[in-house]
Amino acid sequence: MKLLGCLALLALAADVVVARQPLDFLRRKQLASRQAMPIVPPPIQNRAPKLNFYTDKTKEFYVPGTSIPDVDFDVGESYAGLLPISSKPHETRKLFFWFFPSVTGKAPTDELVIWLNGGPGCSSMEGLLQENGPFLWQSGTFKPVPNDYSWHKVANMLWVEQPVGTGFTQGNPNIRNEEDMAAQFLGFLEQWLKTFDLEGRTTYVTGESYAGFYVPYIVDAMYKRNDTSLFNPKGLMIYDPSLSYDAVQEQMTAYPFVESLTPLFALNATTMADFKRRHESCGYANFLEKYLVFPPPGVLPTPPQLETSPECDLWTDILNAALQVNPCFNIYHVSDGCPLLWDVLGFPGSSDYIPPGATVYFNRTDVQKVLHVPPTVWQECTDTNVFPKGDGSLPSALSVLPDLIDKNERTLIGHGLLDYVLIKDGSLLAIQNMTWGGAQGFQERPSTPFVIPYEGRGTAGIYHTERKLTWFEIDLSGHMVPEYQPTVAYRQLEYLLGRIKEL
């Protein structure tokens, strides 16, 4: 009986010890068990056989899936290298591409998705390596990992560095406007489609940031060629895009953005009061109150302070104030703080940063050899002016985009709510000034919850569709939506391609 009594006391003591474990300890154990569970990506049906595109024409571009430096797993079939922007003999201008065929059964013959980063002059290898490619090496991480939400699980994916002067591209930049850019891109794409026997395939063009210029002008040029045996565009998707003037997408909306995220910016009351006064005196407050409404009251007038005076340069002064409070403030994702993370591309936040002894991944000779490019000094965002005399084209929302919405099967525009580079309300204001499908702007304010089914993700923001244009506001995402919210971007790609009929 004494033994039983002792055992009972020991058992009770053990229960008390467990019960007195701090909540933080128990939560960490619970979280660790969840993190150890494998993430289940969307199912892939009818996996395609290997080397769908290996031919006499493409073999010089073939990248063995186990040959990519520091990637310790097989990424599958891919092709990379340089192709000229025209079929002219001795053409010296060439664009760089990296092509990953889809791992689904249908896509290898049916669809092509093109991804472009912005800048102008920023490499689409950023998109491949840190956003939506088959493997990811994001800032602050030890080595590359497989991407469960790689876009090549949905369609054939082509990442292209362009215009000339960007990344690994070769030749001297000479474009004057977006029409020149699109002509050179289609010249390259024609060579590429013929090399990979993909002429006339259904094509979707996607991108982010300054690709708000690139993508619409490229798709517009495809339609104007009127040759579906070669170019067959069906839709486009752009994230946090340059759609209008900087005064609209930066200056006019800067103060309301900071006010809505006061705890993140942590600016003092005196500073905020001064920014509010200037927001009102520069005419921004009245303009937003009158024109950022649903439906719009009519064609929007020229924004105030189109040529920004120092007094009305709120965007820059807010940035400088934020950097005083948070030296690691990241304009691309405003919730970031110190320390500044090491980044294999050399651009971890608001500006470039390479710690002593570190090497930029695409500057390594072993990487360049695998990708079939000559020794090159590679920059994520080039110092070269890819528009030597400036970009002479109007923003796409004021030119080609409205007509494209009518022509496309679907057009998607998404915006991360933590992006200070280009601000969500500025993009909405640009949309409210467009006329497509027989009406101007959205007739109703976007409000429908956007729900992601993967991993029990739940609501990820809101969306709204009118007349073939779908708009997304994406919670917790900065400028690079596929990087910060990969499940969201994956779902949006499925919708763009018609894999899902409704959101």
Active site (catalytic) residues: 209, 419, 479
User: How would you class 51 by CB atoms within 10 Å of its CB: exposed for 0-12, middle for 13-18, buried for 19 or more?
Assistant: middle
The 3-state DSSP class for residue 83 equals strand
Separation between Cα atoms, residue 462 and residue 473, nearest integer Å: 5
φ, ψ of residue 429 in degrees (nearest 5) = -65, -40
Burial of 499 (0-12, 13-18, 19+ CB in 10 A): middle
Residues 6+ apart with CB under 8 A from 479: 208, 209, 239, 240, 331, 332, 333, 416, 419, 421, 422
**DSSP three-state, residue 81:** strand
**Can you tell me the distance from the alpha carbon of 322 to that of 258, in angstroms, rounded to the nearest whole number?**
10
CA 225 to chain centre: 27
Tell me the one-letter amino acid at 100. Answer: F
What is the C-alpha separation between 450 and 304, in angstroms, rounded? 34
What burial class does residue 24 get, using C-beta atoms within 10 Å of its C-beta: 0-12 exposed, 13-18 middle, 19+ buried? exposed
Sign for the pseudo-dihedral over CA of 481, 487, 66, 192: negative
Q: At what angle do helices 284-291 and 252-260 cross, to 10 degrees?
A: 80
Packed helices 424-432 and 252-260: angle between N→C axes, nearest 10 degrees = 130
The owner of tokens 């991480």 is 141
d(CA 480, CA 151) in angstroms, rounded, equals 15
Q: What does the alpha-carbon distance between residue 207 and residue 237 come to, in Å, rounded to a whole number?
A: 7
CA distance 464 to 291: 19
* Proportion of the chain in helix, strand, coil states, percent, rounded to 5: 35, 15, 45
Give φ, ψ of 124 to 5 degrees.
Answer: -75, -5
How far, CA to CA in Å, does 331 sit from each of 141, 211, 292, 404, 421? 21, 18, 24, 30, 6
Q: Which amino acid is at 368?
A: Q
As a whole number of angstroms, the distance between CA 252 and CA 426 comes to 8
Residue 62: enclosing H or E segment and its boundaries?
strand 62-63
Q: What is the CA radius of gyration of the chain?
A: 25
